[in-house]
Amino acid sequence: MRRESRALSCALLSVVAIGFGEHLLAQVPMRAGIASNGDPPGVSQFVDPTSGTDLVQLVQMALTRNADLLATRQRTIEAQGLLRQAGFRPNPVLETEYATGSATGSSGERDFSIGYAHTFELGGKRARRVEVGQSGLGLARLEVADRERTLRAEVQERYIAAMAAIRNLDAVAQQLEVTQQSFTVTQRRVSEGESPRVEQMVLQAEVGRLTAERLLLASEAQAAMLDLRVVAGLDLSEPLKLRPDGDRPPLSMTLDAAIESGLSSRPDLAAAREEEARSAGEVRLARAERVPDVAALIRFTDSQSRFDLFGLTATGALAPVQDRDRILTGGLSITLPILSRNQGNIEAARARQSAATLRREYLERTIRAEITGAYGRYAAARQAVEAFESSVIQPAEESVRVLRASYTAGEVQLFDVLTEQRRLIDTRKAHTDAIRQEALARVALERAIGAPLQ
């Protein structure tokens, strides 16, 4: 009686699972871009072990095509322009004036002058400006290097996410293939009267469940590939298949060596130090601007006046009385630093210098903490992967093989086989997640150090 009730329950569950699987088969292709015949993308549509794109190639693509990085590189061009501008001396000034009394009833009055003024910068202002501009250019280059560092990590993280999704898809696809084979064998045995029909129904439900799971995992793999395309700068229409990355050797660097390498390799820390140097240069520039500049002026004036009087010329002829003067004027102009000696700008520059020093000190402490945390996370993830590979995966696979053989020999129930198969899928997913965590931890450690781990 209990056996009949158990069989009836399994049959009902089979009907529900089959119906749910058919519903997913009808709905998922429209949402995930799967082929119209209902077949989800296989692993071969994402991976090509021989001619696919490997991680190194993806990083190179991102470094040449990522729009955000290209925009950051424009900062260097901007800094080069500012440095060039900082080296220019003040432009000379050419002045000209013309005055006439015709409009005011004094038609005999006319005045014309032309002058040239040249400013001489004192206090080393130009040298200080160039110094600040050079620091700005160095800072811009370090900002680009730091963006390249973070971009490499982003590409690696998305590559790891895509490969983890593909690995899970492959595990479920293999299990689905084996279950479909078992379903075919059981279907034949039921038709020959060697197995109860409930086993066929249970296997049919399992095929439907695995099919639905495969569809969802294929959708996850497609989404991960889209994220990878975006960060690598690839167009959505460009073909992309991944080449699996080989196993990386275990980390041989000690924690102290990793911290020392990070403090010397991180471009953002170098940028913080450069910002500190630039702010010190801004203080020197503000002090130099206290010294007033001197402007030298030379002017030529031609002034003519005509009076309503007549006089005699040297020849005795009658002529209007006129006066004409040609004057050459020279002089100097200097601002008297009585009220303002650039005190406010000096105070602001000192505050920026103090802030840059504090940010640099904070970043040094942050880098130490990041490397320490990433190092411990990587060590733990590495141990977890080694535990899976040494004592979990092989026994789980062997257990499923033994149960399948025992089921074929009629020694165990089908439910025991299915339970163990599901446990194997969960174990493989856990193994994949451990591999993903190890890879992400290694990427995080490389990002924290600022250089690839050898």
pLDDT tier, 420 (very low <50, low <70, confident <90, very high otherwise): confident
Per DSSP, the residues of 98-117 read EEESGGGT-TT-EEEEEEEE
DSSP state of 242: B
Distances in Å between the Cα of 148 and the Cα atoms of 113, 155, 266 are 59, 10, 11
pLDDT tier, 14 (very low <50, low <70, confident <90, very high otherwise): very low
Question: CA-CA distance, 287 to 128, in Å (whole number)?
Answer: 10
Amino acid letter, 18: I
Report the pLDDT averaged over residues 349-355.
Answer: 94
Greatest mean pLDDT range, 265-279, 296-310, 393-407: 265-279
Pairing status of strand 294-312 against strand 318-334: antiparallel
Burial category of 453 from C-beta neighbours within 10 Å (exposed 0-12, middle 13-18, buried 19 and up): middle
pLDDT tier, 2 (very low <50, low <70, confident <90, very high otherwise): very low
299: helix, coil or strand? strand
Answer yes or no: is pLDDT of 408 > 90.
no
Chain centroid to CA 52: how far? 24
Domains of the chain: 11-94+124-246 (1.20.1600.10), 251-278+360-454 (no CATH)
| Residue 379 · residue 254 · CB < 8 Å | no
Answer yes or no: is pLDDT of 402 > 70.
yes
**What pLDDT, in 10s, does the model give residues 245-259?**
776 777 788 999 999
Question: pTM, whole model, 2 decimals?
Answer: 0.76
Q: By mean pLDDT, which of 58-72, 256-270, 316-330 is the weakest?
A: 316-330
How open is the CA angle 396-425-407, to the nearest 5 degrees?
Answer: 60
Burial category of 128 from C-beta neighbours within 10 Å (exposed 0-12, middle 13-18, buried 19 and up): buried
| Residue 356 · residue 281 · CB < 8 Å | no
Q: Which segments of 158-236 are extended strands (E)?
A: none
Q: What are phi and psi of 412, to 5 degrees?
A: -130, 165
| Residue 434 · residue 442 · CB < 8 Å | no
pLDDT tier, 454 (very low <50, low <70, confident <90, very high otherwise): low
- With a CB cutoff of 8 Å and minimum separation 6, the contacts of 167 are 432, 435
H/E run at residue 387: helix 343-391
What is the chain's mean pLDDT, rounded? Answer: 84
Chain centroid to CA 214: how far? 32
